Amino acid sequence: MSDAPEPPGRSPELATDLVEYFVVVLPDRAALGGVVPAVTEMVRSRRIRVLDLVVLARGADGALDVVEVSEAGDLAALHELEGDTGLLSENDLRLAASAVRQGEVGLVLVAEDRWAEQLSLAARGVGGRIVAGERIPAPRVEAAVADAPDPDPPASNSWSDPGG
110 and 50 Cβ atoms separated by less than 8 Å: yes
pLDDT digits (tens, 9 = 90+) for 7-33: 344 346 888 889 999 999 999 988 988
32 and 26 Cβ atoms separated by less than 8 Å: yes
User: How far is residue 12's CA from residue 86's CA, in Å, rounded to a whole number?
Assistant: 17
Q: List residues bridging with 50 in a β-sheet.
A: 111
pLDDT digits (tens, 9 = 90+) for 3-14: 334 434 434 688
pLDDT digits (tens, 9 = 90+) for 141-158: 999 999 888 777 666 555
Better-predicted residue by pLDDT, 151 or 134? 134
By the 10 Å C-beta count (0-12 exposed, 13-18 middle, 19+ buried), 57 is classed as buried
pLDDT digits (tens, 9 = 90+) for 36-83: 899 989 999 999 999 999 999 999 999 999 988 877 777 777 777 766
Rounded mean pLDDT, 91-116: 94
Q: What is the pLDDT of residue 33?
A: 87
Which helix (H) or strand (E) segment holds residue 25: the answer is strand 19-26
Q: What is the pLDDT of residue 133?
A: 86
Rounded mean pLDDT, 92-108: 95
Q: For strand 19-26 and strand 64-68, is the pairing parallel, antiparallel, or unpaired? A: unpaired
Q: What is the pLDDT of residue 2?
A: 33
